[in-house]
Structure 1
Amino acid sequence: MAIATAPPRTSGARERTATELVRLVFDGDYERVHADVRAALFDPLFDPRAGLTMDEAGRLAYERSRFLHARLGRPSAVVADPPRLFALAEWPSVLDVSVFSLLMVHYNLTFGTVHDHGAGRTDLADLVGDLDSLAAFGPYMATELGYGNNVAALRTEAAYDRENGTFTLNTPGPLAQKYMSYSGFTDVPKVAVVLARLRADGRDHGVYPFLVRIADENGLRPGVHAAPCPEKPVQGLDNGVTWFDNVRLPRRSLLLGDMGEFAEDGAFRPLGGNARQRFLRSMTRIQPGRLCVSSSAVGAGRASVYIALRYARQRLVNGPGRKEMPVIEYRSHQLAVFTAMSTVYAMSFLLNRGKRAYLAAGGAVDADLNGLIAVTKALSTWQLTDVVTSMRERCGAQGMFSVNRIADYVSLLQGLVTAEGDNKVLLATVAAQLLAAEETEPPPPAPDGSAHDIGDPALHQALLGYRERALRESARSAMHDDTVERTYLEAWNGTMNAALAMARTRGVRLAVEEFHAAVARAEDSDAATGLRLLATLYALTEIHRDAGWYLARGVLTAAQVERLPATLDELCPRILPLADALADGFALTPELVRAPIAAEDYVTAFQSLTDARPER
């Protein structure tokens, strides 16, 4: 492959490369958007705490959240500046995965919903003030025990009484209990956004958000009931099951936005299309929420690679003909760590594309942008789940300890895969939209892999584009096969897995495009070389994943497919001299992550925790 091998490096060259990589990874916005969030995490409040109960860990997450709120700005300022919101999602989970969940629910889902649908409402000043000052935390109560992510089907009811201008909020049965929102600590004041089905004048007008004080300094408010959920590994928050027993709400509780109005006689009038359109309008925080989820996943992925690489530089093993050597010198270890690093960079650049598109749209999310955000969320959380799991394994027994962070990231990613929409459901929605869309350009010809070196970036992008298009055409043809009598559901069920593969491939293709765009923007030659090597590793790993498919369609030769594992292997020694600088591009340090195995001397750091210091 025509990819240069990096020469030996000096400390000055490494620093210049790392600086350039930080610029690219954080899309040129590191100092304005990220630096102070990162700096806040050096406070001793974020030092590891051993031996906490789940209750104590949850309360510590609340304390840390209050600290960040005081240091970094109120929700009203952060929600109005989406890059800051995304940064607040990205950094805290590096040190406390529960803080990410708590802050994002409060800032994005709850306060963001108030911002979008209750801006300028002076009648809400007391409730909004409590949320903005963090005098009260803001749970977001959408999901119900019996309906999961199918929020449009929820059954919690808010019945409107025109005569006295009030709503009665009620949970009609166990399936309608609000599920997983933070209601377990009943001594913490809470003002929640509750999604409920609005009924007025005998009609169901669909789902609307309501702002409800559910707890104050005296505990749960009258008619509000909550029970704690079972414990979750690592994330010791107060997830609960919440239900309402005829809670009377003033009319101001309804966050109408542009979705309805009250006539002079007090009658409620829905606006803005049908019930489904109004429901989608009420859920405006889902798209930025998905970008927040991806930001947290990427932050955890970066930290896991950084920690695992630093450990691999020190962890000594036996080698044939050598008494001891660092485990990173083994090619098998290099391939695992560098593949993970390439994935983290790929997902960072894909996420940057999604964030730029969201900002450019000014909050007006059309079908294309919604699809990009959904694909980004699904692909990043899936791939970074693989990354943190692999890095946990590569750290051996040390990877099992929470103090070394990576085990906590495994738990975090498990939750992120289903947060803000289950990944398969998201991809299925995107796939269905892609199948329904009309083609505006003729399909490109099938690439001739035999005419290219397997390491050619142009071939990688052509192969991924061809696979995406071919899967789409195959799924579309199967969906519209008139020779088989079946319902739409039967047709979609028979096509769904191919359509999901198509949507996933689309995400990979976009990530590879963004990877090479970053290479082109790199102003430091070593940064460009390192990124080019990682882009090749990422693309070929994905192509190798579906090598049989490419071979069956004649776009790769048998010799090329057979050569793929060796090609991946040969990239590792080329990446190795640049690996430390590439990891520095994540803007992490041993002092920030506070993981013993990432320290300059991991043995001494680990012994300081265990008090195991034998005399020499």
Structure 2
Amino acid sequence: MTIATAPTRAPGAHERTAADLVRLVYDGDYERVHADIRATLFDPVFDPRPGLTMDEAGKLAYERSRFLHAELGRPSAVVADPARLFALAEWPSVLDVSVFSLLMVHYNLTFGTVADHGAGRTDLDDLVGDLDSLAAFGPYMATELGYGNNVAALRTEAVYDRESGTFTLNTPDALAQKYMSYSGFADIPKVAVVLARLKADGKDHGVYPFLVRISDENGLRPGVHAAPCPEKPVQGLDNGVTWFDHVPVPRRGLLLGDMGEFTEDGTFRPTGGNARRRFLRSMTRIQPGRLCVSSSAIGAGRASVYIALRYARQRLVNAPGRKEMPVIEYRSHQLAVFTALSTVYAMSFLLNRGKRAYLAAAGAVDAELNSLIAITKALSTWQMTDVITAMRERCGAQGMFSANRIADYVSLLQGLVTAEGDNKVLLATTAAQLLATEETGPAPAPPDGAAHDILDPALHRALLGYRERALRESARSAMHDDTVERTYLDAWNGTMNTALAMARTRGVRLAVEEFHAAVERAEDADATNGLALLAALYALTEIHRDAGWYLARGVLTAAQVERLPATLDELCPRILPLADALADGFALTPELVRAPIAADDYVAAFGAVADTRPER
């Protein structure tokens, strides 16, 4: 078989380059944070098991989650070390996309909420102990059938009886049924965090989290009802619709934290501002959850590019004047794969910035950090959707088989773009907050594109920064146009798409800045060169996306805009000799991903999976 190879490099050069890239991709913390999680994925429990029903695949995800729990430590330790939490989100979905969802709900949303609002509560030892030992899994029940992103308006109610010291948890109507949480496998013990409207002494005090045992070894508890949701492609988890019929919950089940108190006579008194502020306080796990979502998306994006590149080195095609050659030698294939590679690196570095900022804040998430996390989540999941879809296409029919992983990643990303806040809604909210903030410092002068080489990194940063600021000023001006009589909603609707473009551009600018910073931190010469080429490819791809805007503003010349496609094309043969080392910077191997088309001999590997026996 003919295999496309890069020009010969000095012995050990590839390994040195890849090691330096691993250091940068995993932000200098690979050995402490990631290595042992990666090592667990080689266990046979993660070997492919074809032919499972959706229920069997879901039960397997629970089995694999228990294995990871046994190997990597209890949720109490992982939640206390957010870097480990993010890494746990990053790796398992490479092999089982359902495990990510299961672990992140249990570790981050459910156990994290208990840790944030029930710390030191000895009266919860039995429930917390079951969650920490994984004797029970922890669904997180927030979204209702009629209430998605507006969770603060949900209708499930917990009515307090002062005399008995007990809440009655109830679902008042069909719209208030809890939706999508894991309640379908009634034979698996579950202790859930349920968000419900706390009512006491005839007053509605807003939404609070409650810790509720919903099933045990005998099935669903009295008064708890569940029905399975329709099947989802690939992901066989037990998503369900859950409702409560006057379920008694002892007062200890309220995860009150610092959001209220009971007086000696049993009167409930909320604290910490109004109901909205208390609700936001109860949702402390959303920000780390968004970083977990980005981690999983980027982990899948890395694997898809790694698999597609290895396959492209071996997949033979016809060529003019040649009998056959590997498809990676075609420039059209290079541009697709290398653009995806550059995007994965860009989002990895943007995510690292978000994780560093969150860790430094020690849980005190201010408006700037909230904006960074939201933009990172939206941009990374959108861009990884594009990356994974493109890599599936570039692998042809092989990309459609679950055995080759990428098709499963497509399904994963379809879920992630709406997880922890639908991207469009999340980015619109963030954009509105950015518009409401006064900009400090004078506006930068329009960059003079004609005075720069189009490959100049300084020009890329200047162009993106200029576009972000110009879109912001345009949106603010439109919002505050007093010459037109209209409602606030009309004003916002009229400028929303401009604001969304501004917020997206902000994310791209930050990613490019982090990319250039990584180039500066690289120690290996080939790593430096490879990253610089990928940074240019990513930035120019984004600039090309809005080339008409830059041309209309006069910050790029007509000749530069016309030349952009050729410039992108010409980067590809410069990246090709370093492509394998750049892909190995993700710390993946054929043995880990177990995708036949990523094997050293994909024909033999696929034959083993398909049980082919061609005549000799």
Q: TM-score scaled by structure 1?
A: 0.99
| Contact 1:55 1:236 (8 Å CA) reproduced | yes
Alignment of 1:386-405 (within 5 A): 386-405=386-405
Residues of 2 paired with 1:220 and 1:273: CA distance?
37
- Structure 2 residue aligned with 1:493: 493
- Structure 2 residue aligned with 1:363: 363
Alignment of 1:418-497 (within 5 A): 418-497=418-497
Alignment of 1:291-330 (within 5 A): 291-330=291-330
Q: Kindly provide the amino acid, as one letter, of the partner of residue 263 in structure 2.
A: A
- Structure 2 residue aligned with 1:243: 243
Shift of 1:336: 0.2
Shift of 1:615: 3.6
Alignment of 1:156-171 (within 5 A): 156-171=156-171
- Structure 2 residue aligned with 1:32: 32
- Structure 1 residue aligned with 2:107: 107
Residues of 2 paired with 1:185 and 1:433: CA distance?
41
Q: Alpha-carbon deviations, 1:192-216, whole Å to 9, x = none?
A: 0000010111111110000000000
Q: Alpha-carbon deviations, 1:54-93, whole Å to 9, x = none?
A: 0000000000000000000000000000010001000000
SS of structure 2 residue aligned to 1:212:
strand
Residues of 2 paired with 1:46 and 1:295: CA distance?
20
Q: Alpha-carbon deviations, 1:302-325, whole Å to 9, x = none?
A: 000000000000000011111010
Residues of 2 paired with 1:479 and 1:439: CA distance?
15
Q: Kindly provide the amino acid, as one letter, of the partner of residue 231 in structure 1.
A: E
Q: Kindly provide the amino acid, as one letter, of the partner of residue 188 in structure 1.
A: I
Residues of 2 paired with 1:438 and 1:327: CA distance?
51
Shift of 1:613: 2.1
Q: Alpha-carbon deviations, 1:502-548, whole Å to 9, x = none?
A: 00000000000000000000011100000000000000000000000
- Structure 2 residue aligned with 1:503: 503
SS of structure 1 residue aligned to 2:70:
helix
Q: Kindly provide the amino acid, as one letter, of the partner of residue 606 in structure 1.
A: F
Alignment of 1:187-586 (within 5 A): 187-586=187-586
Q: Kindly provide the amino acid, as one letter, of the partner of residue 106 in structure 2.
A: H
Q: Alpha-carbon deviations, 1:127-148, whole Å to 9, x = none?
A: 0000000000000000000011
Shift of 1:369: 0.3
Residues of 2 paired with 1:412 and 1:215: CA distance?
27
- Structure 2 residue aligned with 1:55: 55
SS of structure 1 residue aligned to 2:231:
coil
Q: Kindly provide the amino acid, as one letter, of the partner of residue 277 in structure 1.
A: R
SS of structure 1 residue aligned to 2:12:
helix
Residues of 2 paired with 1:19 and 1:495: CA distance?
46
- Structure 2 residue aligned with 1:14: 14
Residues of 1 paired with 2:217 and 2:566: CA distance?
64
Residues of 2 paired with 1:121 and 1:100: CA distance?
29
Alignment of 1:68-107 (within 5 A): 68-107=68-107
Give the 4+ runs in structure 1 shifted more than 3 A: none
Shift of 1:339: 0.1
SS of structure 1 residue aligned to 2:158:
strand
SS of structure 1 residue aligned to 2:199:
strand
Residues of 2 paired with 1:274 and 1:521: CA distance?
46
Shift of 1:164: 1.2
SS of structure 1 residue aligned to 2:497:
helix
Residues of 2 paired with 1:412 and 1:431: CA distance?
26
SS of structure 1 residue aligned to 2:243:
strand
Residues of 1 paired with 2:150 and 2:184: CA distance?
23
User: Which runs of no fewer than 5 residues in structure 1 stay unpaired?
Assistant: 1-5
Q: CA RMSD in A?
A: 0.7
Q: Kindly provide the amino acid, as one letter, of the partner of residue 16 in structure 1.
A: R
SS of structure 2 residue aligned to 1:48:
coil
Q: TM-score scaled by structure 2?
A: 0.99
- Structure 2 residue aligned with 1:181: 181
Residues of 2 paired with 1:200 and 1:552: CA distance?
61
| Contact 1:9 1:577 (8 Å CA) reproduced | no
Shift of 1:420: 0.2
Residues of 2 paired with 1:347 and 1:8: CA distance?
30
Q: Alpha-carbon deviations, 1:269-303, whole Å to 9, x = none?
A: 00100000000000000000000000000000000
| Contact 1:215 1:221 (8 Å CA) reproduced | yes
SS of structure 2 residue aligned to 1:208:
strand
Residues of 1 paired with 2:147 and 2:489: CA distance?
20
Shift of 1:11: 4.4
Question: Which segment drifts farther, 422-431 or 113-122?
Answer: 422-431
Q: Kindly provide the amino acid, as one letter, of the partner of residue 544 in structure 2.
A: H
Residues of 1 paired with 2:464 and 2:7: CA distance?
32
SS of structure 1 residue aligned to 2:222:
coil
- Structure 2 residue aligned with 1:3: none
Residues of 2 paired with 1:594 and 1:354: CA distance?
30
Q: Alpha-carbon deviations, 1:412-448, whole Å to 9, x = none?
A: 0000000000001111111111111112101010001
- Structure 1 residue aligned with 2:603: 603
Q: Kindly provide the amino acid, as one letter, of the partner of residue 483 in structure 2.
A: T
Q: Kindly provide the amino acid, as one letter, of the partner of residue 400 in structure 1.
A: M
Tell me how many residue pairs correspond in the alignment: 611
- Structure 1 residue aligned with 2:588: 588
Shift of 1:7: 7.1
Q: Alpha-carbon deviations, 1:76-131, whole Å to 9, x = none?
A: 00000001000100000000000000000000000000000000000000000000
SS of structure 1 residue aligned to 2:212:
strand
Residues of 1 paired with 2:375 and 2:79: CA distance?
23
Shift of 1:162: 1.0
Question: Which segment drifts farther, 604-613 or 322-331?
Answer: 604-613
Q: Percent identity?
A: 89
Residues of 2 paired with 1:599 and 1:399: CA distance?
14
SS of structure 2 residue aligned to 1:243:
strand
User: Which runs of no fewer than 5 residues in structure 2 stay unpaired?
Assistant: 1-5
Question: Which segment drifts farther, 149-158 or 405-414?
Answer: 149-158
Residues of 2 paired with 1:7 and 1:365: CA distance?
48
